[in-house]
Amino acid sequence: MGVRTGTSRSAALAVATLWGALAALAGPVVLAGPLTAPAAAEVAAEVPAATSGAELPARRTQAQGAEPSFSPALRRIRVVDHNIEKRSAAMSRALTAARKTGAEVILLQEVCWWQADQLRRRHPTWTVAYKPERERDKCMRGSSRDSGLLGVRRQVGNVAIWTGGSVGLPTTHTFTTQRVKSDRTGLACVSWTTIVRHRACSVHLISPTGRRELIVRTKQAREVRRITGPWVGKQDLVVLGGDFNAEPQRATMNHLYRFDGVGRFREATKQRLGGPDCRCRQVTGDGRRAKVDYIFFSANRTTARGFRSLRVVKTSSDHHLLIGWADMDVTERS
């Protein structure tokens, strides 16, 4: 009986000791009031900051003595480009292609003023930029009261569209170098922000009819680089498409291509974005049986992990319809 009593007393003593230890541990944590500023600073200094799961692998890699890895966020940018040659059927085909592919950018050239007006009225949820460049009799039409325009006009030009909303910013840019004084060749652009600033521009360089036109066209390509250069320098994502009236290996195109040139763009072709552009020949128009139409993406946002693609479709225009896309880096940069 005495043994049992001694055992009970020992067990009770052990339990009391355990409770005392737990109370001692809990004492500093359970506070009667809020932390004072010095006390809060001491606690914050002792407790490590919470980290996201994405940061942990990089920290482990650094602990192992290797450089942390970086994986950019990629976003697929879909584009439809077409020189419609003032044909409404060709424009309708481009709009249908954009709807089926989910393209957020539509770039058109040789668009009559009334066709551009029609686009704005029929698609109020789009951002539409129109850049009249010259006059053509094929665009002559009497204005309707609904259009808000008076008289007969003959303007033809370029259109850039962002289909993602009506809150984008339309802008136009006129080149300082023109074939004749009455021309207003330049860029029709739209811009918007989705994580990063996006800009999409439509261009139509002058047609080749002689040595002087070749010189002017090359100067205009240089102006494209001059206008878009600051945007790329600010890390904007820039899309450029249109009728350049020059084949890939021509000196004019040196001002566009990032590789094998002095430009800032990568072409939409069937290959990875990481490798150099081939500047390959491809028929994009029935009239000249040559490649003169392009879709470009700014090189500052391309990555070796991304893919790009280009499909060429015949329409009623003398130029083919281009459907292209590229996986672009949309990581925020300071």
Assigned architecture for domain 77-329: 4-Layer Sandwich (3.60)
Query: What's this model's pTM, rounded to 2 decimal places?
Result: 0.78
- For 49-67, what is each residue's pLDDT tens digit? 333 333 323 333 334 444 4
143 residue type, one letter = S
β-sheet with 237-243: strand ranges across:
169-174, 186-194, 196-204, 237-243, 293-298, 265-267
- Assign 60 to helix, strand or coil: helix
* H or E, element range at 265: strand 265-267
Measured CA to CA, the distance from residue 132 to residue 111 in angstroms comes to 9
Strand partners, 324: 79, 310
**Position 105 pLDDT exceeds 80:** yes
What is the reported pLDDT for 201? 99
Residues ≥6 apart with Cβ < 8 Å to 325 = 76, 77, 78, 79, 101, 268, 308, 309
- For 260-279, what is each residue's pLDDT tens digit? 899 999 999 877 777 788 88
Segment among 1-10, 149-158, 322-331 with least mean pLDDT: 1-10
Burial class (CB in 10 A: 0-12, 13-18, 19+), 197: middle
Domain boundaries, the chain: 2-63, 77-329
- For 301-316, what is each residue's pLDDT tens digit? 999 888 999 999 999 9
Segment among 45-59, 204-218, 280-294, 308-322 with least mean pLDDT: 45-59
User: Model confidence at 41, in pLDDT bands (50, 70, 90)?
Assistant: very low
Structure tokens at 53: 């799961």
What is the reported pLDDT for 305? 87
